[in-house]
Chains A and B, each alone.
Chain A
């Protein structure tokens, strides 16, 4: 996988990991307004990053969560365990 694509994926991972962390925090602190605002901001940033990635490299999700070009891109390689970030 080329380095530009890996870099885009890294940025998505970083932003999404932030969202996961805020999600778990909010599950036990549902009234924390600051955390909620930061979470929502992360969601928007993440949507932009994913849209940019998917436009170039195809859908990151299936089962109705993202569109595909023809032929059906979901089956494309590499799958996540085939990518080494070493």
Chain B
């Protein structure tokens, strides 16, 4: 069961209207390596994790990713909310605006809609944890590319924070993988 706390996990900062930057940042909302993909991946994998510890890790990181999705949404929302039609046109955002006005939608930087194929839930915990570790690295790289693109210091600071979380999550999934190997070794199940 989820309880919502009415505050962000991190104090997101946006220094000005910038639909062009929003168009890139939105990939971490609805793109292949974004926070929606991360949260749904981990939350759907948690059901078949074999130990309490692995269920907890998938549950808790999955929940934190929902909080990160909210931060990305906050960035995009604030970057476009005061944009004029001229600014939207200059940003090449006409397509998005026609379908969504200034609302948030699950697409990548080119408007490609989110799809379940972005995630896998394979059942085998060794497999799933490798998927999760790869996902964290993909997210980290994406944040680095967004940091390279960003000309808004507040957004850059927020992106740096989100990137830092991916490194910690990678470490936790890695530790969970060791635990799963130890668990199966102790039960003498051979793969």
Contacts and interface: CB of A to CB of B under 8 A. Distances in A.
Interface of A: 6, 9-10, 12-13, 16-17, 20-21, 23-25, 27-30, 59-63, 65, 74, 79-81, 83-86
Contacts, number: 81
B90 interface: no
**Interface size, B (range):** 20 to 34
Interface stretch (B28-36, B54-62, B108-116): B54-62
Contact of A17 (B9, B78, B175): B9
B7 A28 contact: no
B61 A24 contact: yes
B4 A28 contact: no
Interface of A is mostly: helix
Interface in B118-174: 154, 168-169, 172
Contact of A80 (B57, B61, B70, B175): B70
B87 interface: no
B24 interface: no
B98 to A, nearest CB: 23
Given A81-B74, A86-B154, A12 B172 contact: no
Contacts of A85: 11-13, 154
A61 B4 contact: yes
6 contacts: A24-B172, A27-B57, A27-B172, A65-B3, A80-B8, A83-B8
Nearest to A21: B168
Contacts of A6: 11
Contacts of B9: 13, 16-17, 20
